[in-house]
Amino acid sequence: MNDRLFSLAGRKALVTGASGGLGRNFASVLAAAGATVVLTGRRTKQLEQAAEDIHSAGGEASVIPMDVTDESAVAKAFDYAENIFGCVDVLVNNSGIAHGELALDIKSNDWDRVIDTNLRGAWLVAREAGKRLVGAGQPGSIINIASILGLRALKAVTPYAVSKAGLVQMTRTLALEWAQHHIRVNAIAPGFIMTDMNRAFFGTESGARMIKRIPMRRVGDPGELDGVLLLLASDASSYMTGSIITVDGGHLQSTL
Ligand SMILES: NC(=O)c1ccc[n+]([C@@H]2O[C@H](COP(=O)([O-])OP(=O)(O)OC[C@H]3O[C@@H](n4cnc5c(N)ncnc54)[C@H](OP(=O)(O)O)[C@@H]3O)[C@@H](O)[C@H]2O)c1
């Protein structure tokens, strides 16, 4: 196997929601593979700590606060990245929030919050990255973090599931439009991976029942997304675009 197949040496990556959970892990995996990484999110202190860990491991990282729902903050973050290292050519569109409530009880502001962050936010960031890559005539890779809930239905997650289904379709349409610009757009659709988003849930009885329905009988660890992230970010996936890759212990094949 060619050692350099998954190398990201010389790449400039931006990760949204790098302050915790999957995003923090994605940022360190990209840095370890040789990319210079900009960590973004709203919680500056956590971003600084994550960047510090990357520096200690010998990687290159910097921090810029960015709320994905704020169009001007998105432009500012890309300006910042461009000033320090040039055009972002690997984007991990990871920021996301969940809201657990049955459809009849959901308030419209909760609906808006989830769609604004998970779908409109991901679009604002992808559009910014795409515009700049096209302007610079450079190739790039965009990785959207979707969910198996964007592919199958579950009760009490309507806005989240709708936002992730939208992100899956956005992955396909951007892939179609941007292939001519050598910008690949793919998505990872994780099943249940233990992070702050769901830790409390998996401590409950319904969480335990959910785990029994996963064919591998366990939730995933964030590190179990490392391989697919490196595949999609690097030239190892040079002929892949518009792909939605599930990483879910087989969950999609059984009852959610
Ligand atoms: N864990 C799972 O089982 C699972 C499964 C499928 C898909 N996913 C997806 O994976 C992604 C990461 O989830 P996670 O499990 O790591 O959850 P998490 O630990 O709650 O992290 C979510 C991240 O999103 C960021 N974020 C939220 N709102 C934001 C905003 N308005 N602007 C910028 N950043 C924002 C947060 O950063 P700040 O608070 O600092 O802004 C945080 O770092 C999400 O898109 C989620 O839907 C997770």
Average pLDDT, the chain: 97
Tell me the pLDDT band of 193, cut-offs 50, 70 and 90.
very high
Mutation choice for ligand 1 from 19, 22, 120, 226, CB with most ligand atoms inside 8 A: 22
Report how far Cα 137 is from the mean position of its chain's Cα atoms. Answer: 24
76 lines ligand 1 (CB under 6 A): no
Q: Residues with Cβ < 8 Å from 1, sequence gap 6 or more? A: none
- Is residue 253 in a domain? no
User: How many domains does one find in the chain?
Assistant: 1
The residues with which 63 forms a beta bridge, in sequence order, are 39
- Is residue 58 in a domain? yes
Tell me the pLDDT band of 3, cut-offs 50, 70 and 90.
low
C-alpha 49 to ligand 1 mean position (Å): 17
49 lines ligand 1 (CB under 6 A): no
- Which of 195, 184, 193 is closest to 243 using CA atoms? 184
| pLDDT of 11 over the 60 cut | yes
- Is residue 132 in a domain? yes
The two structure tokens encoding residue 76: 């500012």
Q: Residue range 65-70: average pLDDT?
A: 98
Any catalytic annotation for residue 160?
yes
Q: Residues with Cβ < 8 Å from 73, sequence gap 6 or more? A: 65, 66, 67
pLDDT digits (tens, 9 = 90+) for 80-118: 999 999 999 999 999 999 999 999 999 999 999 999 999
Mutation choice for ligand 1 from 14, 94, 192, CB with most ligand atoms inside 8 A: 94
Which CATH number characterizes residue 141's domain?
3.40.50.720
- Is residue 62 in a domain? yes
Provide the domain limits for residue 195. 8-247
- Is residue 2 in a domain? no
- Is residue 256 in a domain? no
Mutation choice for ligand 1 from 92, 163, 195, CB with most ligand atoms inside 8 A: 195
Residue of minimum CA distance from atom 29 in ligand 1: 95
- Is residue 252 in a domain? no
Tell me the pLDDT band of 19, cut-offs 50, 70 and 90.
very high
Catalytic-labelled residue, pool 6, 78, 160, 192: 160
- Is residue 3 in a domain? no
Residue of minimum CA distance from atom 8 in ligand 1: 147
Q: How many CA atoms lie less than 13 Å away from 161 in the CB half-sphere?
A: 15
Please give the pLDDT value at position 256: 85
